[in-house]
Chains A and B, each alone.
Chain A
Amino acid sequence: MSPSSAPRVRSGTIALLASGRQWLAAGAALLTLAGAARADAPAPSPDDLIKIQTSLERGAFSDAIAELELWSDRGVVHPDLSFDRGVAYLGRAESPAQRRADLGQAVAAFEEAAHLAPGDDEAAHIVERVRTAISERRDKRESDGVVARPRLSRALLDLIGENVWAGLGALGALALSLGLAARFASSRHRPRLGGGIAAVVGSLIAALGAGMAYVGHGLRTTTAPAVVIVEQARLQDGDGRPIAAARGASTLGESADRVPEGTLVHISGARGALVQIEWGDGEAWLSAREVRRLAGSQ
């Protein structure tokens, strides 16, 4: 190789590498776009939404519901679309065209909106209002049902979010690290004592926060929230037989075996036409047709 040709070869290699990098980048971008296209179905256009709104305004609730359900079937997941679906179901439930499961479907839609956008206070508020309306209607019809208390871990996670527990765990780990550092780095008594206390307290907080975050992660990835959309869903065993286990310990009679409309349940499994749900500290089964699984759950 002559000295004069060396820079040329080097610059050619660099150009080749640069061009390869560009191709790689382009390929990666294409793959990313393809993945994004697969993951997110195209959302409705503003014109589509205006059309649905027009249907609602002229009282054609079923048309609006059909359109919104179609978007849902296509896999479009958005809290505002879920909210709009709730508005349509609620409107029909309060119109002469009302159908039996409308309020349950409205709860499912608003619950889905709140689930997808945890900061949506409007959705969270209207869910409770609709549930109250369902409860009042049940009282009028003298039909009853039982809502089982959620598990302690789920109740704690509903009270304090998974990310807060995770943050607590991280803070605990930080306190533990700083405490250990102070303990090891200083030879003086006070810093060493303070470091020791910080390490002990930090390790406790880290264990609690990380533990709850781990439980929350497990519940989130292994169960899916759903809402009962029939007037009463009958609890069954794994073979589809109605269960009467609760009657022995309850004065509620048959109502103890029925889950009222609008109840939030958590699906932990499925078999055939049945879904397994968490029921108190145990498990029970419901017909899959009687519940609506909330979109966006893992």
Chain B
Amino acid sequence: MNPLPLRLVRALRLSALLGVALLLALWPRAARADVELSLSLGAREVAVGEAVQVRLDAMSADDDSPSDPQLVVPNGFEVRGPSVGTRQQVSISGFSMVTQSGISATWLLTATRPGLFTIGPATVSWRGQRRQAQVVQLSVLPPGQQPRARSRSRRQAVDPFDSFDPFGGNNGFDDLFDRLRGGGSRFDQLPAAPTDLVPERAPDDLAFLDAHLDTRRAVVGQQVTLSIYAHGAQGLFQEAPGAREPSHPDFLAQRLVEDGSRQPVYQYSRSGERWIAVKVRELALFPLRAGRLEIGSLEFGFLGRRYGARTGDGLRRSTRPLFIDVTEPPQEGRPPGYAGEVGSFELRATVEPRSIPAGGSIAVSARVKGRGRLPGSLAVPEQAGTEWLEPTVRDDASVENSVVGGTRSFSYLVRMTKPGTIDLGSLRLPMFDPETGRYRVASFALGKVTVEAPAVSAPVDDPGAPKAGPRLSDLVRFRAALSPREPDLYWTDRALYWWWLGLGPGVVLGAAGLLRLGGRLRRGLASRADSQATHATRAIGDARQALAAGTPGAVAGAAERALYNAIEWSTGIKARAVLRANLARELSEAGMPDELSSRVVASLEACGQLRFAEGDPERARAVVDDIDALVKQLVRRVPRPRTRDAEEVRA
């Protein structure tokens, strides 16, 4: 067998190569004869109140560009957008150059509740069909919780100079640092730090973070910008993974700067040390409530050979928590319908068409442009016969000099059901402008629309017309005059009520007690007036009167009576019934001292003798004085509780 000629072999090889090349050149075009959809998230994990960007790229290799992007978003998000832009992309695939064109649609989702959510699917219209991109998962953490490891932390560490090399090279930070140490002339090429960026003193010799707030006083809804700069004295650095983001549970946040990779790097000198400073975070914060609100600290890792670590957590530094005093916008001058919008906006609108048949709809396109958090809604001029449907909202958010703003478009469909020339009224947007400290109402007069009566007298379907049965609003009538209002009176608010509860029974009990006390006092006084001691004292008085009258018989009788009463008071013994001979013993047994009982007996004897001794007043006086002293002595003694009568004594 003859071998193939060498030329033929070469020709076959060349043909095979050409065939493969042709296949490779044609394959991508065949494979891409469709639309490529890609749905991506700005972050996989956000906290409630934070905004996340969702981007849909739809690219097509033919002339039919995708359009009408739509995104399915679950409940729990405030959606803005989409903002749609066109894209064109040229790529080399195999041996051919592929040109793709398409759109890039961006939505801004603000999470309002925590959970794990599926975002999407996102769809576009292409060649009359809807094409669908894959869904993505987004984790929303409760307010106040910050993801410990953001998506950034799962990536490679971000080098501020990877994508922005201030010297036009890409030699890495160590190399740059070495060059800086060697010469320094290239270091000087960095822009000098503005004076307000350089702190008065460096809190650390190696590296530190410096957090700024553009204002310390704000109203609810006003933008407060938090800027955080990283300062390093050891040359360039990277951001280590695992930064702990500042917590801001009382704010809605929009990130203006996510990392320092695209930020200008400044240089300055302090005490002979070369420092660099770069903005690593910037957030637009919108206070949600009044009070002294706290913004947590940022913990950040400086990664670099000169900072002690090239991997891991790096040299950790953190900012201090910041506080801001937030108040409500003032009550004074607040316009009706004010819904908390803060900023400075202008309002424009168009109405099309101006003439429609009854039951038809007009399109009202309103555009709000300005600075501040874009307003969530406009005050539409309602009236009978017009039905404003929920608007479609499109955003073109922008940030200018760290101030959030942009344009928001509201597209309304307004159904006109009442024939005639209808003055639509004005769209309104009440707002508080923190720069002027005043309220302002942006309004735009929409003009008139002619609504033609239907040619056929078919009943116009008026959704506002009463349905079957009375409506609830028909059951009540507006009260055009305020009736005089009696203030609420509650008995328990008055101290008198509680006094009355205790005072009534207390007074009765007190009165009863007083009455009983009075009775007892009265009885005591009465018994005291009737006591032997009183009788004894009175008898002494009688004796002295008789003495003055010169009747010794009467003197003796009265003195003797006084003594007997005093004895009975003192001992309880009715001495008149006791034999005189036994009296001293009885008195002694009753507890009277012997000397006193002897004196008593002697005095009684003296009274007996006085009865028969006439005409001796001196003697009578001496007896009376003696008995008076005895009576006083006996009366002072504690009276005996029991009176013993003669029979008892005798027994």
Given A70-B334, A94-B473, A213-B388 contact (CB < 8 Å): no
B360 → chain A closest CB, angstroms: 15
Are A49 and B383 closer than 8 Å at their CB atoms?
no
- With beta carbons under 8 angstroms apart, the residue of A60, A86, A130, A163 that contacts B490 is A163
| Per-position binary interface string of chain A over residues 29-47, scored 1 when its CB falls under 8 Å from any chain B CB and 0 otherwise | 0000000000000011010
Within 8 Å of chain A (Cβ to Cβ): is B650? Answer: no
Within 8 A of B (CB), among A47-97: 49-50, 52-53, 56, 58-63, 66-67, 69-70, 73-74, 78-81, 83-84, 86-88, 90-97
Using CB atoms, name the residue of chain B closest to A210.
Answer: B501
Residues of B close to A43: CB separation below 8 A: 482
Residues of A close to B245: CB separation below 8 A: none
Q: How far is the CA of A216 from the CA of B482 in the complex (A)?
A: 29
Q: How far is the CA of A210 from the CA of B491 in the complex (A)?
A: 11
Using CB atoms, name the residue of chain B closest to A58.
Answer: B383
Q: How far is the CA of A43 from the CA of B482 in the complex (A)?
A: 9
Given A91-B473, A170-B500, A73-B382 contact (CB < 8 Å): no
Are B463 and A46 closer than 8 Å at their CB atoms?
no
Within 8 A of B (CB), among A117-147: 117, 122, 126, 129-130, 133
| Per-position binary interface string of chain A over residues 245-278, scored 1 when its CB falls under 8 Å from any chain B CB and 0 otherwise | 0000000000000000000000000001100000
Within 8 Å of chain B (Cβ to Cβ): is A220? Answer: yes
Residues of A close to B490: CB separation below 8 A: 162-163, 166, 217, 220
Total A-B pairs, Cβ < 8 A: 161
A258 → chain B closest CB, angstroms: 13
Are A78 and B491 closer than 8 Å at their CB atoms?
no
Residues of A close to B301: CB separation below 8 A: none
Are A170 and B497 closer than 8 Å at their CB atoms?
yes
- With beta carbons under 8 angstroms apart, the residue of B288, B385, B504 that contacts A176 is B504
Within 8 Å of chain B (Cβ to Cβ): is A191? Answer: no
Listed residue (B489, B501, B502) with the most chain A CB atoms within 10 angstroms of its CB:
B501
Q: How far is the CA of A52 from the CA of B384 in the complex (A)?
A: 15
Are A95 and B142 closer than 8 Å at their CB atoms?
no
Residues of A close to B480: CB separation below 8 A: 46, 49-50, 53
Are A169 and B501 closer than 8 Å at their CB atoms?
yes
Within 8 A of B (CB), among A195-219: 203, 206, 210, 213-214, 216-217
Residues of A close to B501: CB separation below 8 A: 169-170, 173, 206, 210
Q: How far is the CA of A52 from the CA of B382 in the complex (A)?
A: 13
Are A166 and B508 closer than 8 Å at their CB atoms?
no
Q: Which of A4-12, A148-156, A177-185 contacts B (4 or more CB under 8 A)?
A: A177-185
Using CB atoms, name the residue of chain A closest to B289.
Answer: A273
- With beta carbons under 8 angstroms apart, the residue of B338, B472, B500 that contacts A133 is B472
Q: How far is the CA of A73 from the CA of B493 in the complex (A)?
A: 27
Within 8 Å of chain A (Cβ to Cβ): is B7? Answer: no
Residues of A close to B289: CB separation below 8 A: 272-273
Within 8 Å of chain A (Cβ to Cβ): is B336? Answer: yes
B485 → chain A closest CB, angstroms: 6
A59 → chain B closest CB, angstroms: 3
Residues of A close to B482: CB separation below 8 A: 43-44, 49, 78, 80-81
Are A96 and B463 closer than 8 Å at their CB atoms?
yes
Within 8 Å of chain A (Cβ to Cβ): is B185? Answer: no
Q: How far is the CA of A92 from the CA of B504 in the complex (A)?
A: 56
Q: How far is the CA of A119 from the CA of B508 in the complex (A)?
A: 38
Using CB atoms, name the residue of chain B closest to A49.
Answer: B480
Within 8 Å of chain B (Cβ to Cβ): is A238? Answer: no
Within 8 Å of chain B (Cβ to Cβ): is A241? Answer: yes
Given A58-B383, A206-B501, A90-B508 contact (CB < 8 Å): no
Q: How far is the CA of A217 from the CA of B335 in the complex (A)?
A: 38
Within 8 A of A (CB), among B321-357: 331, 334-338
Count of A residues near B, CB < 8 Å?
72
Residues of A close to B521: CB separation below 8 A: none
Are A59 and B382 closer than 8 Å at their CB atoms?
yes
Residues of A close to B477: CB separation below 8 A: 87
| Per-position binary interface string of chain B over residues 487-516, scored 1 when its CB falls under 8 Å from any chain A CB and 0 otherwise | 011111100011011101101110110010
Within 8 Å of chain B (Cβ to Cβ): is A244? Answer: no
Q: How far is the CA of A174 from the CA of B506 in the complex (A)?
A: 11
Are A87 and B385 closer than 8 Å at their CB atoms?
no
B537 → chain A closest CB, angstroms: 36
Q: How far is the CA of A169 from the CA of B492 in the complex (A)?
A: 11
B446 → chain A closest CB, angstroms: 14
Residues of B close to A93: CB separation below 8 A: 473
Q: How far is the CA of A133 from the CA of B472 in the complex (A)?
A: 9
Using CB atoms, name the residue of chain B closest to A118.
Answer: B488
Q: How far is the CA of A133 from the CA of B489 in the complex (A)?
A: 34
Are B337 and A117 closer than 8 Å at their CB atoms?
no
Q: How far is the CA of A66 from the CA of B340 in the complex (A)?
A: 13
Given A129-B472, A130-B472, A177-B505, A66-B387 contact (CB < 8 Å): no
Are B485 and A180 closer than 8 Å at their CB atoms?
no
Residues of A close to B379: CB separation below 8 A: 62-63, 66
10 closest Cβ contacts across the A-B interface? A59-B384, A66-B337, A184-B512, A177-B504, A96-B387, A66-B336, A217-B492, A166-B491, A180-B508, A80-B479
Which residues of B are interface residues toward A (Cβ below 8 A)?
142-143, 249-250, 288-289, 331, 334-338, 379-388, 415, 425, 463-464, 471-473, 475-483, 485, 488-493, 497-498, 500-502, 504-505, 507-509, 511-512, 515
A63-B336, A63-B382 known; 16 new pairs, CB 8 Å cut-off, are A59-B464, A62-B337, A62-B382, A70-B336, A80-B482, A83-B479, A87-B473, A97-B380, A117-B485, A163-B491, A173-B500, A180-B508, A184-B508, A184-B511, A217-B490, A296-B488
25 pairs of residues in contact across A and B, judged by CB atoms under 8 Å: A44-B482, A49-B481, A58-B383, A62-B382, A63-B336, A63-B381, A66-B337, A70-B335, A73-B334, A86-B476, A93-B473, A163-B489, A166-B492, A170-B500, A176-B504, A177-B504, A177-B505, A177-B508, A181-B508, A184-B512, A184-B515, A206-B501, A213-B491, A217-B493, A272-B249
